[in-house]
Chain A
Amino acid sequence: LILTNLHAFRREKGFFMDDLITEFLTETNESLAALDSDIVRLEQNPNDRELLSGIFRLMHTIKGTCGFLGLSRLEKVAHHAENVLGRFRDGDLLVTPSYVTLILESLDRIKMIISGLEETGSEPQGDDSVLIEKLDAVFEGRDGNPDNGTSGVDVIPDHVKDAADPLQALFDSTPVLPQEEWHTIVTVPEDDAPETASAMEKPAAATPPPAAPKAETPAPAAKAGGDDHGGKESALAAQSLRVNVDVLENLMTLVSELVLTRNQLLQIMRSQKDTEFTAPLQRLSHVVSDLQEGVMKTRMQPVGNAWTKLPRIIRDLSIELGKKIDLEMIGAETELDRQILDMIKDPLTHMVRNSADHGVEMPADRVKAGKPETGRIVLRAYHEGGHIIIEITDDGKGLALSKIKEKAIKNGLATEDELANMSDQQIQQFIFRAGFSTAEKVTSVSGRGVGMDVVRTNIEKIGGSIILKSVEGKGSTFLIKIPLTLAIVSALIVESGGERFAIPQLAVRELVLASEKSGVKIETVKGTPFFRLRDQLLPLVSLKELLGLTSEDNNATKYIIVAQIGTYQFGIIVDRVFDTEEIVVKPVTRLLKGIELFSGNTILGDGSVIMILDPNGLVKAMGETDIADAGGGAKQEAKTGHGKEKTALLLFGAGNGAPKAVPLALVARLEEVETAKIEYSSGKAMIQYRGQLMPLVTFDHTVDMHSQPRKPVLVFTDETSTMGLVVDEIVDITEEIVDVQVSANADGVVGSAIINGRATDVIDIGHFIRGANKDWFKRHGDEAFGEASSIGRRVLLVDDSPFFRNMLTPLLKVAGYNVTTLENPLEALQMRETGEKFDLIVSDIEMPKMNGFEFAKKVREENSLWKDIPMVALTSHSTQQDIEHGMDVGFSRYIAKFDRETLLSTINQALLSRGGVQ
């Protein structure tokens, strides 16, 4: 990053800076970031030798390079700080907070000089004598600290004292300094001559004065340990290269171009019969995909890079505020795109500051509340299904609802009546509104009016979302969900006014076709269009009008793209909808930066350039300035009543007989395929889909795959496989309270239910998937099908969806299990408190309040009564990462929700293996 800045800088100013200095700045900035957190860690573990040598080495490198480059001011500061660090490392001076502050002060000075160097190309003028004097006072033991007795010559190691020839022993135990470290012995502060010169040409000066050798003589064990460490590090360093970001960006562009060309070739290929090009092209296609993945990986960086400053910030804050705070960072190695990392750095810092300032209480208050004196802030990052989740949790005082209410009324954000009808969760969301700050007093840390609203906006800008959970008196948790990468996204291609645009798929909820004929129509109130989407009035915006486009296309049929930002839903009217495509996002030219409606542009498979619409910008253009909780109320209402929640179902027609339904949550996509393009391989139907072969199955023999030129297909995905179910027509999406009557005999049907007033078959997707893909079944573990006695075994089923509870409970009961069904993990944990025991727990993953991963962690806690109960995870779309994460937190099996055969066999196995253990 620094490199790019410098390049930009050079270009702008035409300024010439020595490449060596550029390199030095990059390296030093990295080292400094690392030093900051190391020194704070040192304060917590003052006796950590390894840490001490690490810090010392870093400071030493900075100093050494400065000398080489002739940066005398920088060198002096580093040199004197290194002297003091040397004494800590050798253990003859104990690390105290005031010393750490002094070292941090020196680091700040170094940073200041470096930033001056970056700006002007030479060291800024200034006087460091006060700082140097302070450092020297500590080094020479005249800083008034009773524990800091001068040089420590009197401390003679025991083995030396007891040796027969003490002098020889002392000599033996004194490791020979490597030549490049000789100059560290020279402690004459005024010495400005280059280090190497002083070491080589002035042997007299290098001859240690009595105090010096001791100061530079670490205990042999520590030295050896330190050397080992250094050796490991350099071995690692040899395996990595420093590459300019520009080079990577360029590579990325080239690969994108390659991908596009490949797609074009594949497009041409599809219209040809078998030719000799087919096989090589397939191979090329695979190689290109791998290459793309590889290049993407080079952009990934551990999220810890955005965290390095935090320990220092927390330390400074806790001193300034008089609080005691521990910062714990988990999952720092989790990787995400460099670009996103840059964008979340500031919001994260802000939030951690907030937690320290507003969240954690003063030590006295904490003791009063029965909490440990030291507050905890936990930062945790992990992958979850193509997203990265960052949690910031503190065990502080939580959000005070009464204060938020007061503030909301005072600032005119809501009336008392409105607040009375809101849930606690909704009231808490007020902190994301502009100009809202709950701090009673404004400190230098936070509470300056720019607050959580800015954080929210920044996170939503990159397609992420932020959720707040807070319990008054117990603490708060912020959950940030962000996409792994911004560079390649899935986007829906639409047309409006004769121009094509891309809308990021992340924001798209569903598509509605509105035409006069079908009675599904757009209504207007004083010119403003609206649409009735199930029980809700959906505000609409015409893309054509918004973009000021004109065209003669006055087709009565329009498509409505239902989009969602946060909890706000709206519809975009477009003329046509094409396909979803994986697109490579490129930034728009700076000449267009002012137009908020576009988030970027891209090149499609056919080589044309199109603009990418920014859903946030669209909402802004519609005049909705604050969307944090608009529409949230309606959503909340839809989910009331215990066990009577609605399930979204996709209704379709296939073959003869009753209409069919499948839970929408299980369907990955709806596609329409040209039946002429269906190919056959060893008697199985398949189609080329997104560069892969997707097996196709029909609902039953009465469905003819080729009866129409285009056929609708429901696409199901799991881990890496995809399957398409060919049906006759897609009827509707409906939200209903479904009560499934399970029937055991019909193939491919779970049971029937009354939907839209008609008896409807609810289909068993697992059946079709097995038909399409034998591996699928194998992967989910159908080895060794032993028979465990199911009679009377107690199974706990936790799933928030009433549909699945209703579907799975009878299934398990029929198989002879004694089933207890609960709708959330919290209830389950309450049950644990009462001492209930089960033989097996089956749990959903995506649940409100507490997800399956958290639940598993709780179940697997030490002293948990349920610690040894096997757990099976149920999921609708699982990725490899999910599965790994699940296994990490304690699930023993992972199965797809719709696969009831596998569910039963898995439960059987899990119980069997448990039986073996007992």
Chain B
Amino acid sequence: MSGLGLLEKEDTAAAQSRELLTIMIGDQIFGIPILQVQDVLGGQKITRIPLAPRAIAGSLNLRGRIVTAIDVRACLGMPPLDKKEGAQEMSVVVENGGELYSLMIDSVGDVLSLPYRDYEKNPATLDPQWRSVCQGIYRLKGKLLVVLDVPRLLEQLN
């Protein structure tokens, strides 16, 4: 019994905050649970895949493994990145079901440890497309951080 109690305690301690990698897409800040992130890549040579849905940008070679590049903007119904701004595209590599995916985003920020008390599940008024691929929202100082639900985002493409 005492062991179980200890376990519960640890659980709550771990649950009090969460570490998220922050990323920017357009002027919105997003977060991905840090444990899901395998790699962060700079500009990569991506091979187009004909006939693939728009959200699949192509595939790339990451140290001998083929990684499917996902255009997160397309998943979120956002316009494609305006290349003229000179912004170099970044990618965050995640694993799902034994396969690697590289989520193409605009830029990567810091890793934040965020307390649960600032967290809220998806509000009902959130855009339905976003609601289907996000977990919830953290209230940061001055801005709102949307937590991406990576497994669901990938599942939606299937």
* Interface, chain A (partner B; CB < 8 A): 8, 11, 253-254, 256-257, 260, 497, 499, 547-549, 586, 589-592, 595, 597-598, 601-603, 607-611
Contact = CB atoms under 8 A, between A and B. Distances in A.
A256 B64 contact: yes
A591 B56 contact: yes
A87 B49 CA distance: 65
18 contacts: A257-B64, A499-B47, A499-B50, A548-B51, A549-B50, A586-B66, A591-B56, A591-B157, A595-B52, A601-B59, A601-B66, A602-B66, A603-B66, A608-B45, A608-B47, A609-B58, A609-B59, A611-B49
Most chain B CB within 10 A, of A11, A589, A603, is at A589
Nearest to B100: A589
A608 B68 CA distance: 13
Given A589-B99, A591-B158, A592-B56, A257 B51 contact: no
Interface residues of B, number: 25
Contacts of B63: 257
Nearest to A589: B68
A434 B27 CA distance: 56
B110 to A, nearest CB: 30
A15 to B, nearest CB: 16
A547 B51 contact: yes
B3 interface: no
Interface of B: 45, 47-53, 56, 58-61, 63-66, 68, 97-99, 101, 154, 157-158
A548 B50 contact: yes
Most chain A CB within 10 A, of B49, B60, B99, is at B49
A253 B68 contact: no
B49 A592 contact: yes
Contacts of A11: 97-98
B46 to A, nearest CB: 8
Nearest to B70: A591
CB-CB nearest 9 A-B residue pairs: A257-B64, A547-B50, A589-B68, A609-B47, A609-B59, A603-B61, A591-B157, A609-B61, A595-B51
A120 B58 CA distance: 39
A611 B47 contact: yes
Contacts of B49: 592, 598, 611
B68 A591 contact: yes
Contacts of B66: 586, 589, 601-603, 609
A595 B53 CA distance: 10
A610 B47 contact: yes
A253 B97 contact: no
Contact of A608 (B50, B61, B64, B154): B61
A458 to B, nearest CB: 24
Contact of A590 (B58, B61, B158): B158
A499 B48 contact: yes
Most chain B CB within 10 A, of A8, A11, A595, is at A595
A882 B61 CA distance: 38
B126 to A, nearest CB: 25
B60 to A, nearest CB: 6
B64 A589 contact: no
B113 to A, nearest CB: 25
Contacts of B53: 591
A12 B138 CA distance: 28
Contacts of B59: 589, 601, 609
A246 to B, nearest CB: 9
A589 B52 CA distance: 11
Contacts of A589: 59, 66, 68, 99, 101
B50 A590 contact: no
B64 A260 contact: yes
B68 A607 contact: no
B39 to A, nearest CB: 16
Contacts of A591: 52-53, 56, 68, 154, 157-158
Contacts of A8: 98
Contact of B64 (A254, A499, A597): A254
